[in-house]
Chain A
Amino acid sequence: MTEKSTLLNERELERALSRIAHEIVENAKGANDLALIGIHTRGVPIAERLAERIAAFEGVRPLVGKLDITLYRDDLTEIALQPIVKKTEVDFGVEGMRLVLCDDVLYTGRTARAALDALVDMGRPAVIRYAVLVDRGHRELPIRADYVGKNVPTRRDEVVKVRLVETDGQDEVVLADLGTGSP
Chain B
Amino acid sequence: MSSDLTRLLDFADTSREQVVAILDTTEVMAQVLQRPVKRVPALQGFTVATLFFEDSTRTRLSFERAARAQSADVMTFAGGGSSLSKGESLRDTVATLDALQVDAFVVRHPSAGAAHQVASWTGAAVINAGDGRRAHPTQALLDAYVYRQASGRPFEETRLTIVGDVAHSRVARSNAELFSLLGADVVLCGPPTLLPRELAALPGVRLEWDVDAALEGAHAVMALRLQHERMAGTRLHSAAAYADRYQLDERRLAAAHPDAIVLHPGPMNRDVEISGELADGPRSQIRAQVAAGVPVRMAVLYHLLVGKGNR
A associates with B: yes
**A positions within 8 Å CB-CB of B:** 68, 70-75, 81-88, 117-118, 120-123
CA distance A117 to B31 in the complex (A): 16
Chain B interface mostly: loop
CA distance A163 to B40 in the complex (A): 30
B39–A85 CB distance below 8 A = no
Size of B's binding interface in residues, CB under 8 A: 24
B32–A71 CB distance below 8 A = yes
**B99 located at the interface, meaning its Cβ lies under 8 Å from any Cβ of chain A in the complex:** no
Question: Of all chain B residues, which has the CB nearest A83?
Answer: B306
Q: Say how far A159's CB is from chain B's closest CB, in angstroms.
A: 21
A71–B31 CB distance below 8 A = no
A82–B1 CB distance below 8 A = yes
CA distance A83 to B24 in the complex (A): 12
Residues of chain A within 8 A of B232, CB atoms compared: none
**B positions within 8 Å CB-CB of A:** 1-3, 21, 24-25, 27-28, 31-32, 35-37, 39-42, 44, 70, 302, 306-308, 311
Residues of chain A within 8 A of B40, CB atoms compared: 71-72, 118, 121
CA distance A85 to B42 in the complex (A): 11
Q: Return the contact of A121 from the options B21, B35, B306 (Cβ within 8 A).
A: B35
CA distance A70 to B298 in the complex (A): 14
CA distance A123 to B36 in the complex (A): 7
B311–A88 CB distance below 8 A = no
CA distance A122 to B36 in the complex (A): 6
Q: Return the contact of B28 from the options A75, A82, A86, A122 (Cβ within 8 A).
A: A86
A72–B41 CB distance below 8 A = yes
Question: Of all chain B residues, which has the CB nearest A121?
Answer: B37
Question: Of all chain A residues, which has the CB nearest B44?
Answer: A74
Q: Return the contact of A85 from the options B44, B302, B307, B308 (Cβ within 8 A).
A: B302
Question: Of all chain B residues, which has the CB nearest A95?
Answer: B36
Question: Of all chain B residues, which has the CB nearest A122?
Answer: B35
A84–B21 CB distance below 8 A = yes
B31–A82 CB distance below 8 A = no
Question: Of all chain B residues, which has the CB nearest A88?
Answer: B31
Residues of chain A within 8 A of B308, CB atoms compared: 81-82
Counting chain B CB atoms within 10 Å of each CB, which of A74, A87, A121 scores highest?
A121
Question: Of all chain B residues, which has the CB nearest A81?
Answer: B308
Q: Say how far A67's CB is from chain B's closest CB, in angstroms.
A: 12
Q: Say how far B301's CB is from chain A's closest CB, in angstroms.
A: 12
CA distance A70 to B31 in the complex (A): 14
B41–A71 CB distance below 8 A = yes
CA distance A74 to B46 in the complex (A): 12
Q: Say how far B145's CB is from chain A's closest CB, in angstroms.
A: 14
CA distance A68 to B25 in the complex (A): 12
A71–B28 CB distance below 8 A = yes
CA distance A72 to B35 in the complex (A): 14
Residues of chain B within 8 A of A70, CB atoms compared: 42
Q: Say how far B310's CB is from chain A's closest CB, in angstroms.
A: 10
